[in-house]
Structure 1
Amino acid sequence: MGRYRDINEGLAYLLLGVFLVFILPAMLDPYQLSLFSKYISMAFVAIGIVLMWGYGGILSLGQGVFFGIGGYLIAMFLKMEASAPEIPEFMVWSSMQALPVWWVPFKSFTLTVIGVFLIPAVLAFVFSYAIFRKRISGVYLAIITLALALALSVWIIGSQGQTGGSNGITDFTTLLGMDILEDEAKEILYFVQLGLLLLVMLIASFIIRTRLGKILIAIRDHEDRVRFSGYNTALIKAFVFTVAAVLSSVGGAMYTLQVGLIAPSVVGVMASVEMVIYAAVGGRLSVPGAVVGALLIGYARSYLSENFPESWLFFLGAVFILVVVAMPKGLAGLAEQIMARTTSKESSL
């Protein structure tokens, strides 16, 4: 089965790369391509969930928190660039006289990029290590992370003068002087995002194949045995939780650049739960499967929310139940089974 899994994964990387690099840009107009760019930004989150949930057994329902951090940080820089030398207009509307101190570092693009990686990493590690040292896991961890997503979205909405409130941060058009609303700029951002996605996929696959990946699987299946063997399981779980948080933050930053806004809706409970569905559908043990799941569910969400605005949430719920019950390894697991059966029949002939 390991041989079939390697063949499947290699084939999936090849087909996915051809589809994203050559077929999509040739088939779609700039607007449709920007929509798929939005779905690809969610793939960063899904890959992190594969590492964290599929291999580490850590089910977090609060990835929207870190997705939102990355999205809001890059939006702050873009808004500062668009508003310079004045403060953003939503602050003026809220009767603020000066820029909040914590906004000042995000006048710098370099500091903003560092913040996209460093801030979620620090927050995720401190939070998760404290939780895992207390041996909190399973449904209790899921509830805590879900509460974090809810708390952050409530704070953002309530802090109109500093975060834009329920409207979020909008109305920015340039990145370092480049008009990100132009078709050419959107295409450049699309391929930059693909390059980052490929790098992230390779890093995730490398982690899975190293000794750390094997330890993660052991922790997922028998954490007590791993702990008794002398490993600091809390530290290892905190590390993979932090990696997933950073990937979510990068996805949030790319989402803001592609969509042109960031709002509390991508931070809250519904968005966080939806992110888990991406990995579940694609296959929570497959890195390319997570990307496929993000693309499929993202496209289905857009189509159904436009045509069936009152019932599309039921579709997402039904898909999640179906996958858990009938396809626990998602589409990647189904493809692996088909490949194994096909090869078995050919060898028997």
Structure 2
Amino acid sequence: MLNDLRQQPASFRLIAILLALGFVVPILNLWVPSESIFHVETYTVSLLGKYLSYAILALAVDLVWGYLGILSLGHGAFFALGGYAMGMYLMRQIGDRGVYGDPLLPDFMVFLNWQDLPWFWLGFDQFWFTCLMIALVPGTLAFIFGWLAFRSRVSGVYLSIITQALTYALMLAFFRNEMGFGGNNGLTDFKDILGASLQSDVTKVGLFVATVLTLVGVYVVCHRIVNSRLGRLSMAIRDGEARVRFMGYRVENIKLWLFVLSAVIAGVAGALYVPQVGIINPGEFSPLNSIEIVVWVALGGRATLYGAVIGAVLVNYAKSWFTVEFPEVWLFALGGLFVVSTLFFPKGVSGIFHTLSSMLKRDNTLVEEPK
């Protein structure tokens, strides 16, 4: 596997940079004095962790859009479901330290006069059960949706519309108080995770490192898939589904397997995101969020994997800057970035890097040729 990565310098460099960040950032935060110019603030650590969680989500979308041709506008739902699973665990860890002091019911349930803990909250006091649900809930939803859609041969813009409708329906459902997920306010006021305070610098650094390692692991898995026979079949389906069916392959099974895997990856990204930002609410289901994810991948470069990571980090850094300096123009700036990228850089940022690299290699070859 290491040799495969070395044969693709961009992927190898990206993983090296991520691992270096996972090693250097904790040192600069925990051991470098705060008055030093090299000190990394805890807020910055959490912000980087948030960006890298988004990068995992972008990989999930690139896997099905870039290599399989499925433009999903519903991955925000899988991300949110994973986030809610983690949020439920964190709420159960509060215990009697909540505002109302109830050892079993979260504060919002006490406020709404709930008498018993709903059955679907049972088990979320255990971390192992939570990890299982983080993968199982979005994966099951993706399996049911994909089984129905792909066997009916729904594709193209129709599939995109249906995934967006699914996301919107879930958002409306989670906004309702009687659903038992906190309604409009969602889940927040978390205290600790695995017994460690979420306010501690060490915990925040630990979450950042966990996010880095997860991103590297997901990247390696996706890289292995797209460079395997399954990956080649996926790209063949993307470029000519009818031909692949004619050759005897069960296209719907390939689509379903990769779609479910992509949903699980998105759920894991959501689970890592929640403890680092401290809240999860129905707004994460917003169709606009799913559209933003597609923009990340498009700007970074489809079907490259590393482009998805770069796009997610760059766009969200730009979003953080714009929402502070020019909050009223962020959506216009995002739309402008997408239009400019589509018209002038159809292969995204990764395409620019590839072009520059090819030019440098060509120039070096011309210089080395004997006269």
- SS of equivalent residue, structure 1 residue 196: helix
- SS of equivalent residue, structure 1 residue 55: coil
- SS of equivalent residue, structure 1 residue 215: helix
- The superposition leaves residues 2-60 of structure 1 with CA deviations (integer Å, 9 ceiling, x where unpaired) of 99982333334334443454368635211111111111111111001111000000000
Alignment-derived partner of residue 154 in structure 2 = 136
* Residues 314-329 of structure 1 mapped to structure 2, 5 A cutoff: 314-329=332-347
1:127, 1:171 → 2: CA distance? 33
- SS of equivalent residue, structure 1 residue 95: coil
Asked if residue 256 in structure 1 is aligned to residue 263 in structure 2, the reply is: no
Change (3 A) 1:247 1:4: closer
| Superposition TM-score, scaled by structure 2 size | 0.89
Change (3 A) 1:25 1:130: farther
How far 1:105 moved relative to its partner?
Answer: 2.2
Correspondence for 1:236 among 250, 254, 265: 254
Correspondence for 2:70 among 54, 58, 72: 58
- The superposition leaves residues 92-141 of structure 1 with CA deviations (integer Å, 9 ceiling, x where unpaired) of 11121111111112122111101111221121012112101111111111
How far 1:263 moved relative to its partner?
Answer: 1.0
Alignment-derived partner of residue 15 in structure 2 = 13
Conservation of the 8 A alpha-carbon contact between 2:10 and 2:306: no
Asked if residue 334 in structure 1 is aligned to residue 349 in structure 2, the reply is: no
Q: Which amino acid aligns with 1:172?
A: F
Structure 1 unmatched runs, 5+ = none
Correspondence for 1:220 among 238, 243, 265: 238
| Superposition TM-score, scaled by structure 1 size | 0.95
Conservation of the 8 A alpha-carbon contact between 1:4 and 1:340: no
How far 1:280 moved relative to its partner?
Answer: 1.3
Alignment-derived partner of residue 202 in structure 1 = 220
Asked if residue 81 in structure 1 is aligned to residue 93 in structure 2, the reply is: yes
Higher helix share: 1
Alignment-derived partner of residue 58 in structure 2 = 46
Greater C-alpha radius of gyration = 2
Structure 2 unmatched runs, 5+ = 29-37, 97-102
Conservation of the 8 A alpha-carbon contact between 2:84 and 2:271: yes
1:9, 1:344 → 2: CA distance? 21
Report the number of matched residues: 348
- The superposition leaves residues 197-245 of structure 1 with CA deviations (integer Å, 9 ceiling, x where unpaired) of 1111100100011000000000000000001111111110111111111
Conservation of the 8 A alpha-carbon contact between 1:61 and 1:276: yes
Q: Which amino acid aligns with 1:13?
A: I
Alignment-derived partner of residue 99 in structure 2 = none
- The superposition leaves residues 163-220 of structure 1 with CA deviations (integer Å, 9 ceiling, x where unpaired) of 1111110011111211011111100111111111111110010001100000000000
- SS of equivalent residue, structure 2 residue 89: helix
Conservation of the 8 A alpha-carbon contact between 1:46 and 1:290: yes
- The superposition leaves residues 149-175 of structure 1 with CA deviations (integer Å, 9 ceiling, x where unpaired) of 111111111135611111110011111
Q: Which amino acid aligns with 2:364?
A: E
RMSD in angstroms over aligned alpha carbons?
1.9
Q: Report 1 or 2 for greater relative contact order, CA contacts < 8 Å, sequence distance ≥ 6.
A: 1
Conservation of the 8 A alpha-carbon contact between 1:173 and 1:179: yes
Conservation of the 8 A alpha-carbon contact between 2:302 and 2:348: yes
Conservation of the 8 A alpha-carbon contact between 1:160 and 1:166: no
